[in-house]
C-alpha cells in the first residue's frame, strides 16, 4: 500500500510494494502530467489574455443624441451601436443583446479624433466609457448604467481634436457590455469622426477575486 | 516504455514489464522534459516583452508651434524584448506578433511661450492608433501633460512612434515616456 506524499496526487512505495512499481510509476506519471497540465493552462490563459476592440469603419456624424443617458441638451454618439463598427477579439465577446462578461478585473479605453466644420472657443467635448449591467445576463431586466471614466477638452479654434480615456473596471459578473459616448453641447458645430478614428477596447486582466 | 501520459508524454512501464534502472532513468528524463517545457511556458507568461523608454532624464526636445513632431527618446528604464535601439531613437520595434498595451505621456518642461493646446498621438507603422488633446491649459505653466493609451495589434518587426503637437506662439520643450507590454500573442 502506497504512502501519499504532498498535495499533488503523488505517493511513494513501501518496502513490500516491489511488484506494484509499474502501477506506481503510471500513477505518478499521470499525477505529474495532470498537475503540470493544469498549471500550463493557467499560464497559457495569462499569456493570451482575452480582449476585444471595436473601430468605426465609416464616417460618423456627431450631431444626433443616441438615447443613452447623456447630459440634457448635449448632442452625441455612442459606440458601438448598429452601424459602421468592426470588432476584433481574442475570446472576449461584446454582449450587445444578452449575457454578461466574466467576473473579474478589466482594463478599458476609448480614443476618438474628430473634425469640426466651425470650431469655436466654447463648450466642452466629452468622451466617456460606461458599463451596462444586466442582472444574470438577462436583457429583459432593467439595465443600469455606471459611468466609469471620462475625459473632456474645450472646443478651441486651434484644431486640436482628440480625446483618450482609460480605466480599470471590477465586475461582479453583471457587467454585460462597455459603451463609449462622445458628445458636445454646441449644436452649431457639426462634428465628424472619420473611419478608423474611434476605438473602444476592453482587456481582461484576471479574476480579481476579492475576499 | 509502452505507456505514456496524455498531455506531456511521460512514459511508464506496464504491469508485468521488467523494471530496471533504465526504466527509472527514462522516467526521470521524461519528467525533467515535462518540467522544463512547463518552465518555458511560465517564463513566457510571467516575463512578457515589456519596455519603458523615455526622454526625461537627459535633455528635453524642442517642438515648434503647429508642427507635428515625433518624439526622439534618449534612454530606456527597462527593455525586455529589445524594443528600442538608440541608433533609431524615435522608433519602438515590436519583437513578436500579438497585442500590446501601450501608454504614453508627454509633458511640457519649460515656461516660455504661449501654449493654448497640446496633443499627443500613438502611431503604428505611421498610422495613428490613438490620440488625445487638451485645450484647457494655463498658458505659462510647466508640467502641462497629455497621456494616451491603446491596445495595439501588430506583427513582429512593425514600429511605433509617438508625436506631439501644440498650439501656441513659440517653441516648447517636452519630455516623455513610452510604456509597452505584450498582453496576448493573438
What order of strands is seen across the sheet that includes strand A60-62?
A: A60-62, A191-193, A115-116
Q: What is the pLDDT of residue A51?
A: 92
What's the mean pLDDT when you consider all of chain B? 89
pLDDT-wise least confident of A46-55, A131-140, A160-169, B96-105? A131-140
Q: What is the pLDDT of residue A145?
A: 66
Q: What is the pLDDT of residue A113?
A: 93
When pLDDT is cut at 50, 70 and 90, the band that residue A65 belongs to is low
Peptide bond into A80 cis (omega under 30): yes
Between CA A29 and CA B110 the distance in angstroms is 66
Q: What is the pLDDT of residue B171?
A: 74
pLDDT in tens, B71-97: 999 999 999 999 999 999 999 999 999
Q: What is the pLDDT of residue A96?
A: 57
- Residues whose CB is less than 8 angstroms from the CB of residue B8 and which lie 6 or more positions away in sequence, other chains included: A32, A33, A36, A37, B30, B33, B34, B37
CB contact under 8 A, B148 and A29: no
* Surface-to-core class of residue B130, CB atoms within 10 Å of its CB (0-12 exposed, 13-18 middle, 19+ buried): buried
Buried b (16+ CB within 10 A) or exposed e, A59-94: ebebeebbeeebeeebbbbbbbeeeebeeeebebeb
In this complex, the residue of B11, B133, B186 whose CB is nearest that of residue A48 is B186
Question: Does B25 score more than 80 pLDDT?
Answer: yes
Which residue is closest to B150 within chain A, CA to CA? A109
Cα–Cα nearest to B104, from B52, B37, B142: B52
Question: How many angstroms separate the CA of residue B116 from the nearest CA in chain A?
Answer: 8
Alpha-carbon Rg of chain A, whole angstroms?
Answer: 26
Q: What is the pLDDT of residue B142?
A: 64
Average pLDDT of span A80-109: 78
Question: Does A68 score more than 60 pLDDT?
Answer: no
Please tell me which residue, B37 or A17, carries the higher pLDDT value.
B37
Average pLDDT of span A118-127: 76
B91 and B125 in contact (C-beta within 8 Å)?
no
Question: How many angstroms separate the CA of residue B87 from the nearest CA in chain A?
Answer: 31
pLDDT in tens, B107-127: 887 766 778 888 999 999 999
Question: How many angstroms separate the CA of residue B162 from the nearest CA in chain A?
Answer: 14
Question: Does A32 score more than 70 pLDDT?
Answer: yes
Average pLDDT of span B22-29: 91
pTM for the whole thing?
0.86
Q: What ipTM was estimated for this complex?
A: 0.85
Between CA A170 and CA A104 the distance in angstroms is 6
Which residue is closest to B129 within chain A, CA to CA? A197
In this complex, the residue of B12, B118, B132 whose CB is nearest that of residue A164 is B132
B13 near A CB under 8 A: yes
Between CA B73 and CA B178 the distance in angstroms is 9
Question: How many angstroms separate the CA of residue B59 from the nearest CA in chain A?
Answer: 26
Which residues of A fall within a CB distance of 8 Å from B118?
160
Average pLDDT of span A98-120: 83
How is B108-177 classified by DSSP, letter by letter? E----S-EEEEEEEEEETTEEEEEEEE----TT-TT-EEEEEEEEEE-TT-EEEEEEEEEESS-EEEEEE
When pLDDT is cut at 50, 70 and 90, the band that residue A82 belongs to is low
Question: For A83, which DSSP code?
Answer: S
Q: What is the pLDDT of residue A175?
A: 81
Between CA A106 and CA A84 the distance in angstroms is 25
When pLDDT is cut at 50, 70 and 90, the band that residue A211 belongs to is very low
A33 near B CB under 8 A: yes
A:B CB pairs within 8 Å = 150
Cα–Cα nearest to A155, from A195, A194, A115, A128: A115
Cα–Cα nearest to B109, from B65, B148, B60, B68: B60
Please tell me which residue, A166 or A1, carries the higher pLDDT value.
A166
Would you call B66 helix, strand, or coil by DSSP? coil
Alpha-helical (H) ranges within chain A are 21-47
CB contact under 8 A, A158 and B117: yes
Helices (H) and strands (E) in chain B, counts: 1, 13
Contact residues, B window 115-154, toward A, CB-based 8 Å cutoff: 116-119, 121, 128-136, 147-151, 153
Please tell me which residue, B165 or A189, carries the higher pLDDT value.
B165
When pLDDT is cut at 50, 70 and 90, the band that residue A91 belongs to is confident
Q: How is residue A100 written as a grid cell?
A: 454578461
Amino acid at each position: 500500500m502506497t504512502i501519499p506524499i504532498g498535495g499533488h496526487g503523488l505517493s511513494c512505495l513501501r518496502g513490500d510494494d516491489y511488484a506494484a512499481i509499474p502501477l506506481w510509476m503510471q500513477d505518478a506519471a499521470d499525477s505529474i502530467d495532470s498537475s503540470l497540465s493544469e498549471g500550463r493552462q493557467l499560464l497559457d490563459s495569462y499569456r493570451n489574455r482575452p480582449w476585444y476592440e471595436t473601430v468605426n469603419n465609416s464616417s460618423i456624424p456627431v450631431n444626433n443624441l443616441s438615447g443613452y443617458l447623456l447630459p440634457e441638451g448635449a448632442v452625441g454618439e455612442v459606440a458601438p451601436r448598429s452601424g459602421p463598427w468592426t470588432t476584433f477579439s481574442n475570446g472576449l465577446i461584446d454582449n450587445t443583446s444578452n449575457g454578461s462578461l466574466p467576473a473579474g478585473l478589466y482594463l478599458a479605453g476609448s480614443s476618438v479624433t474628430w473634425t469640426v466644420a466651425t470650431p469655436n472657443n466654447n463648450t466642452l467635448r466629452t468622451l466617456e466609457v460606461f458599463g451596462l449591467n444586466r442582472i444574470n445576463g438577462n436583457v429583459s431586466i432593467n439595465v443600469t448604467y455606471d459611468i466609469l471614466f471620462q475625459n473632456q477638452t474645450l472646443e478651441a479654434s486651434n484644431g486640436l481634436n482628440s480625446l483618450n480615456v482609460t480605466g480599470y473596471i471590477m465586475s461582479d459578473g453583471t457587467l454585460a457590455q462597455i459603451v463609449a459616448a462622445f458628445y458636445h453641447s454646441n449644436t452649431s458645430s457639426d462634428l465628424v469622426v472619420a473611419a478608423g478614428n474611434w476605438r473602444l477596447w476592453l482587456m481582461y486582466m484576471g479574476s480579481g477575486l476579492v475576499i | 516504455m509502452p505507456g505514456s501520459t496524455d498531455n506531456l508524454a511521460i512514459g511508464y512501464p506496464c504491469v508485468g514489464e521488467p523494471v530496471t534502472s533504465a526504466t527509472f532513468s527514462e522516467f526521470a528524463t521524461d519528467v525533467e522534459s515535462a518540467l522544463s517545457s512547463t518552465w518555458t511556458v511560465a517564463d513566457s507568461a510571467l516575463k512578457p516583452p515589456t519596455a519603458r523608454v523615455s526622454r526625461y532624464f537627459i535633455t528635453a526636445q524642442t517642438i515648434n508651434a503647429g508642427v507635428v513632431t515625433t518624439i526622439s527618446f534618449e534612454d530606456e528604464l527597462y527593455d525586455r524584448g529589445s524594443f528600442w535601439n538608440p541608433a533609431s531613437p524615435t522608433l519602438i520595434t515590436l519583437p513578436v506578433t500579438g497585442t500590446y498595451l501601450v501608454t504614453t505621456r508627454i509633458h511640457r518642461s519649460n515656461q516660455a511661450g504661449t501654449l493654448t493646446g497640446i496633443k499627443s498621438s500613438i502611431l503604428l507603422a505611421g498610422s495613428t492608433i490613438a490620440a488625445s488633446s487638451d485645450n484647457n491649459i494655463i498658458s505659462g505653466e510647466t508640467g502641462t501633460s497629455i497621456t494616451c493609451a491603446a491596445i495595439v495589434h501588430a506583427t513582429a518587426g512593425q514600429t511605433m512612434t509617438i508625436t506631439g503637437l501644440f498650439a501656441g506662439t513659440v517653441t516648447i520643450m517636452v519630455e516623455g515616456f513610452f510604456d509597452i507590454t505584450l498582453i496576448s500573442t493573438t
